[in-house]
Structure 1
């Protein structure tokens, strides 16, 4: 893939669907009708054409379109597209070890099934990907929005051309090429009380390809953002949720049993709070929780969250091109670095309290407790648990493109690497903390800040701060392709394209010695040696014993594409491809598409094809190891207790998170897909353009893990999903959730992508109005082979959710040096999962402790405004407001990931009304 030497009709009008309310292909074609047409290559085809519309649905966002969205990153930009659903946003890092990853998913098919390209070539997967396949895609933070000339989004499966990972479609970022001059852009964004951004970029280009025979371009960008605290948003500030539904008042309590001061288990196995018993109420950052016979102070971890993390990014993009005859020799280098700091509540966990000890006699014996027990403690005096993640990305592309006679060709070598390192602070070693508690130096039953001076000093001495985990993913690729006309028919030329690629992948998992559980003293780095009395320590709060590994694989692929003009106005295109992987075998894919234009104002197009998605290297090769804890806390039901007893383990007391285990699966098969599209575009007048594309995709042997909430609701049905994990701080063996990679079954999704555009000049200026929307018809999947089908379409019961409707309506008025854009963004409502809550009377007393409600999230509409002033030919200023009405996300009780409650950060942006200002000077 490469960009043309000049802006052509095709390059500006591939798609009828444009973001930001600008003109569609018809209008652009009118503006470009006098330009010289060149044969250029587009995403989704290896054949260069002069046609303004192809057989496949491709939307194009030019630099001007991107600016009008107000998006300051590629993450924000793609999340605004109606066709994009299901990817990981930046707020997804809250409460999880994501290393700051953000991905893109077309049509909710999945970010690992959406191929991301840079100037037409593949990029390495994320170095911080997990062994279960999360983040086994490209991290969008690696591509700076300042370097993008345009984005092409193919919304149809394209495995027959690109190979693996393109089942959902392709996103191709095209960077600046043949740029002369220089420009500086600076900007700020200011939401209320946090998440403030400032940014700057500079671009410079030297030489003209046509006259000088060379061009060198450089773009540097820097941006940084402050944190946004949960307490800065009323809907995100607490886990103790009071709400009304159906004329009744309810309460939903989201807390942790590990609190400050600590809760304990009494002789009857009940979780109680010594502080509550003594004082009659719970302290700050906690609230009283009664669950059956448990009565304790639950820690309000939600109130401590930072729901948008601190971030700094730097990027440098350099492109050099030299023209030699009919050949362009090029070298592109992209280097980027993202630093993200995310903070969550202080570390929780259990510490033993021995009968007869000073702590036991002071706090527990007076309560009638006679046996050894466990204190569930929040180590508030160590401060937040902090993840400081650094993700470096390097991409080098060297090659040549041009012509040999009538043959167009390109040949490229690329080296791409994602290197991720994660540092932590706020975590002690479990054994070290247990010993301090047993010695009496640390008192888990006092409030935060009330440790003795010696106790606080001892705590500080065992707090670990440093490298925890990371990884590196590397991809080396040699890619070649060529196309030429091979015959002439009455309706036109028959064009053939052939190509090949060779890929070499490598993944390295790099946990620290502490993360591997190989240190006796994490602070000093002393190795453990049980034979010498140096016990192996682990991180307090979760059983973390990761296993480092390195895995490699090679793959190669060959493809061919032919375009045949059957009769005037009807073209057929066929693609076939074969890929071979060293670790799981081969895959053959094919595609047939057509383009029919019976009149100049009507286009009918469609395609059918097959695809595949190879498992990631870690998904196949990783060893069984700890994989953190469950997203949500769970109460031990009778069924869970039955599973625990059968494994000679204990349930977690109260309502707590459970340890998770996971591993690679060498028997994992590649996902296979079938897909189809059928659409039309009509332009009844020069001012109006309407388009509609139906799409369908079916996948078998889908990768995944069983949804934790589903498994915890019916643990006996999923008996193979359980194991055990020993807590070295207490010596207790607890039930653990085993979340292995599996081929779960089938997945089906279908929908409609539609748009309508009006564009006309009036006396006061040029008006453009465009509606762009996606309507999902079906989203069904299985959790297991031949199992029941579930749907997440407008329904969050399964722990994921797809909007039935998603879209935007943008209106632009251009008047001389001024341009004003008003946009509306909309998402349909959906049903939340059924949730057990407490029903309260007018006095706030619980009248039904096990009431069940199912909320409906209302449809969500926000408005954006932007005004641009082109001061002169070299200076412009643009300012605007995102979420003009400061509309809060809908209230829900369940989320699709992360620790936030009350709203879903994966589906809605918590920043609220955001003012922004950007200024550009060109030289």
Structure 2
């Protein structure tokens, strides 16, 4: 869009705001109209601020009704939204996302236990979540300051419907609405009470899910009150309980297991002989003897480390994480008079969730690559009474790597407690000026997420260093006892008491806002009234993350991080017009919509975002529409102020031998990698952090399509109603805030030796990666486009009952992410990478049936096939095509069935039973997925049938 056009629209906005300030006082004393007030709720549409029913089809809106929600058998709002065909990969309770997941580059922490929503595969931080049209506070993960919304902070029981705007909407709603808007409409009007009780579990007898919802409401002539209490308890499923997830990479045994083993792996050079050893104690030898003269045919207490010695960490992971959620919600509305209504609403919600990882490994020496000098530069004293080698193991001379997995200390358990508070109040109403009605509202809201994470099973690396050092120095430290890491089962309770702390991290985010809106018809034009909306909004964001003091001090053996704190505020004004261009007697009508929003941020200044749209009512049965919008997303607190943190990535070093690409050998030598180097540990620690110099992301969004309801299919013998909706969408994002893919950065460094990629990567003298910096920047661009095609068909009621069929489809034809220097990122349609996927085609088909007291539904969910890089698994049969080094994740179709019966007890008693995935489909094997051989954001996890029953009683 050129500057001239932007300036014209900006001037129009300023003029309209001025007109609104002049007009409003003049008409404030207008006559009351009760009818206008009643109309207000019925014409509020997500995607426009103008309250007018006839423009509902102006933008693509997908509505998930309460009936749609109940049909899924799900108890998490995030899980419901993630089943939409336009949704992308996002965190949910199937992600066991602690431990080595570490801290993502956006400073948001791991989001453990949260459920997020992604639209158009642009990321959850580019989706704006509203509750009753008002922004919801971002998540608190206890390990960072996130840029996304945790839908598990909103009880599913209080939701009346979900409206999903699958289009850019920054001009109407401000930052974060690049990919779309999810507006959650809460339950409001109810007379009487309702009790809902549900229970479900998987066919294997695990993963039980139980829920109890209590609702009560009353409505009088001038007021309404709704109260809701919700309880959900989701039990865990262990990875070891399913064959596919019982190993790190399915079908490869322990080949991709960890070199941090319960017995310990020791790579060092004997200073007496000059011989380098890579050995591990024999399993049955807790106190191994060492003979320096022996090679790999050994008769002492060691043997040479081999693939079979690697540790199967998958046995300790979870497929489904336990989560307990308790929520209380209340909403009261009072008609002050026929035209003014006051409301107040409040919510309190607690989430208690748990993640679990394998016992924390202790990696020591220059090849450890932890970035912690206490580990990378350690000296293990030869005087340690348990040291079988009789000499110092010194990182500066003879030590290369030690990997010891102290299973004696148990698995790492991460327990989260997240408390959400929300309170809002406001006035809304209408008035009449002449023959025109105006609608207005003023709202104030405050919301807070506070989280605490308790980690048991981790270690203090400073105390480990002390306990492995000179015993005399250890004796001078309170509680210190020499540590035995040489062999399995050697670490005593006394040793654990000294080196194993309880780690507690906390985080909080708050959002305070005020908004005011005005909408109405300004005057009549040749083709109808010029409709208008305007408003103002103020928001204040605050957030902080406080890791445990031992983490801040650098003593934490796990993933290190520093504290984060920040705040900013924003003032915004917007205006929207609906301009009738022509209207004919035969029903044809063409409307032009114009909108613009000016946002003034305390962090970077002002930003103006316009939007243009056309809606052509070709006939009563056909609407054509098109929109173009500019958008932006302001960097979040974590992205701006996030301190140095780390995540552990599974990376393959291109310099390891044998080379996958022999042409890189000269470059590896230039990088200081010696001949014969073999990567000892695929787990590489990557340091990341925020960037206060980040600029906002900017975007262009375009959509066009039609809504067709043919007359020949209305009130016919074979059809009561038929609706077809087709939408083409395109999003182009510039300056995306993210870090370059770590594997891509490493590959490009080795291939090109370009400092742009290599400056953040350091190597030890042994050749291994000792430091890897992967920080946030305004990356190049993301471009995606595709099609939505939805069909809804309602059949006439007959003696067989009433049938209704819906079919929703999304086709992704393009997704391309390019770094600032032109490096192409690996994500693309039909590709599985980094625990996420972009299927080329996703489809949901539902057949509903009702007859008298009976109801039933059959849901079919389809995901097209995907392809992934086999990585190091290329030689295993599980890699579908070893010649190309790719694995195909076959297309999958899920079938869900549900049946219900309504008894005439009290005001109604309904009993519902259902089964999801009735054909017992297992998710396809994913070789590149980090933990359990599944893509937890694309497929039903853990696989197998899920059976449930639900009882609803109204009285």
Give the TM-score of the pair, scaled to structure 2: 0.81
- C-alpha distance in 1, partners of 2:914/2:149? 30
Q: 1:272 aligns to what?
A: 279
Q: Deviations over 1:364-397 (max 9, x none)?
A: 99xxxx9556531001001010100111112211
- C-alpha distance in 1, partners of 2:41/2:384? 85
Unpaired runs of 5+ residues, structure 2, are: 1-37, 102-109, 270-274, 287-303, 365-378, 472-480, 584-588, 658-663
Alpha-carbon deviation of 1:433? 2.6
Aligned pair partner of 1:126 in 120, 139, 149? 139
Pair 1:655-2:668 in alignment: no
Report if the CA contact (8 A) 2:762-2:772 is conserved. no
Q: Secondary structure at the match of 2:486?
A: coil
Alpha-carbon deviation of 1:337? 1.1
Q: What pairs up with 1:363-512 in 2 under 5 angstroms?
A: 374-405=401-432, 406-438=437-469, 441-447=482-488, 450-451=489-490, 455-467=492-504, 469-512=505-548
- C-alpha distance in 1, partners of 2:71/2:794? 17
Aligned pair partner of 2:557 in 540, 558, 582? 540
Q: Secondary structure at the match of 2:928?
A: coil
Aligned pair partner of 2:859 in 823, 826, 831? 823
Pair 1:690-2:717 in alignment: no
- C-alpha distance in 2, partners of 1:316/1:620? 34
Q: 1:22 aligns to what?
A: none
**Structure 2 vs 1, CA of residues 397 and 712 (structure 1 numbering), >3 Å: closer, same or farther?**
same
Q: Secondary structure at the match of 1:78?
A: helix
Report if the CA contact (8 A) 1:150-1:175 is conserved. yes
Q: 1:331 aligns to what?
A: 344
Aligned pair partner of 2:88 in 74, 85, 88? 85
Q: 1:286 aligns to what?
A: none
Alpha-carbon deviation of 1:603? 1.4
Q: 1:319 aligns to what?
A: 331
- C-alpha distance in 1, partners of 2:121/2:398? 52
- C-alpha distance in 1, partners of 2:669/2:446? 48
Q: 1:308 aligns to what?
A: 320
Alpha-carbon deviation of 1:779? 0.6
Alpha-carbon deviation of 1:470? 2.3
Alpha-carbon deviation of 1:362? 6.5
Q: Deviations over 1:176-197 (max 9, x none)?
A: 1132211111111101243211
Q: 1:573 aligns to what?
A: 593
Alpha-carbon deviation of 1:683? 1.9
More strand by share: 1
Q: Secondary structure at the match of 2:869?
A: coil
**Structure 2 vs 1, CA of residues 64 and 820 (structure 1 numbering), >3 Å: closer, same or farther?**
same
Q: Which moved more, 1:607-616 or 1:546-555?
A: 546-555
Alpha-carbon deviation of 1:787? 4.0
- C-alpha distance in 2, partners of 1:163/1:147? 26
**Structure 2 vs 1, CA of residues 563 and 888 (structure 1 numbering), >3 Å: closer, same or farther?**
same
Q: 1:172 aligns to what?
A: 183
Q: What pairs up with 1:897-908 in 2 under 5 angstroms?
A: 898-901=930-933, 903-908=934-939
Q: 2:76 aligns to what?
A: 73
Query: Number of matched residues?
Result: 823
Aligned pair partner of 1:254 in 230, 253, 256? 256
Q: Deviations over 1:68-98 (max 9, x none)?
A: 1222110111011111112222222434332
Q: 2:612 aligns to what?
A: 592
Q: 1:523 aligns to what?
A: none
- C-alpha distance in 1, partners of 2:573/2:123? 25
- C-alpha distance in 2, partners of 1:168/1:918? 35
Q: Secondary structure at the match of 1:655?
A: coil
Report if the CA contact (8 A) 1:252-1:837 is conserved. no
Report if the CA contact (8 A) 1:276-1:296 is conserved. no
Alpha-carbon deviation of 1:128? 2.7
Q: Secondary structure at the match of 1:714?
A: helix
Alpha-carbon deviation of 1:835? 1.9
Q: 2:798 aligns to what?
A: 762
Q: 1:103 aligns to what?
A: 116
Alpha-carbon deviation of 1:640? 11
Pair 1:833-2:874 in alignment: no
Pair 1:263-2:282 in alignment: no
Q: Secondary structure at the match of 2:116?
A: coil
- C-alpha distance in 2, partners of 1:300/1:640? 32
- C-alpha distance in 2, partners of 1:216/1:622? 42
**Structure 2 vs 1, CA of residues 330 and 235 (structure 1 numbering), >3 Å: closer, same or farther?**
same
Q: 1:226 aligns to what?
A: 235
Alpha-carbon deviation of 1:320? 1.1
- C-alpha distance in 2, partners of 1:37/1:744? 43
- C-alpha distance in 2, partners of 1:514/1:630? 23
Alpha-carbon deviation of 1:736? 2.0
Larger Rg over CA atoms: 2
Alpha-carbon deviation of 1:667? 1.7
Alpha-carbon deviation of 1:277? 11
- C-alpha distance in 2, partners of 1:81/1:276? 50
Q: Which moved more, 1:61-70 or 1:159-168?
A: 61-70
- C-alpha distance in 2, partners of 1:371/1:355? 13
Q: Secondary structure at the match of 2:70?
A: helix
Aligned pair partner of 2:816 in 780, 796, 816? 780
Q: Which moved more, 1:749-758 or 1:635-644?
A: 635-644
**Structure 2 vs 1, CA of residues 295 and 260 (structure 1 numbering), >3 Å: closer, same or farther?**
same
Report if the CA contact (8 A) 1:241-1:252 is conserved. no
- C-alpha distance in 1, partners of 2:404/2:666? 23
- C-alpha distance in 1, partners of 2:227/2:112? 28
Q: Deviations over 1:115-144 (max 9, x none)?
A: 00001001121123877x8x4111110111
Pair 1:236-2:251 in alignment: no
Q: 1:557 aligns to what?
A: 572
- C-alpha distance in 2, partners of 1:609/1:799? 31
Report if the CA contact (8 A) 1:186-1:199 is conserved. yes
Alpha-carbon deviation of 1:330? 0.7
Alpha-carbon deviation of 1:676? 0.9
Alpha-carbon deviation of 1:53? 3.7
Q: Secondary structure at the match of 2:453?
A: strand
Alpha-carbon deviation of 1:309? 1.1
**Structure 2 vs 1, CA of residues 882 and 797 (structure 1 numbering), >3 Å: closer, same or farther?**
closer
- C-alpha distance in 1, partners of 2:835/2:856? 40
Q: 2:776 aligns to what?
A: 741
Q: Which moved more, 1:269-278 or 1:790-799?
A: 269-278
- C-alpha distance in 2, partners of 1:77/1:791? 25
Q: Secondary structure at the match of 2:194?
A: strand
Q: 1:753 aligns to what?
A: 788
Aligned pair partner of 1:621 in 630, 641, 646? 641
Q: 2:217 aligns to what?
A: 205
Alpha-carbon deviation of 1:253? 2.4
Q: 1:6 aligns to what?
A: none
**Structure 2 vs 1, CA of residues 269 and 744 (structure 1 numbering), >3 Å: closer, same or farther?**
farther
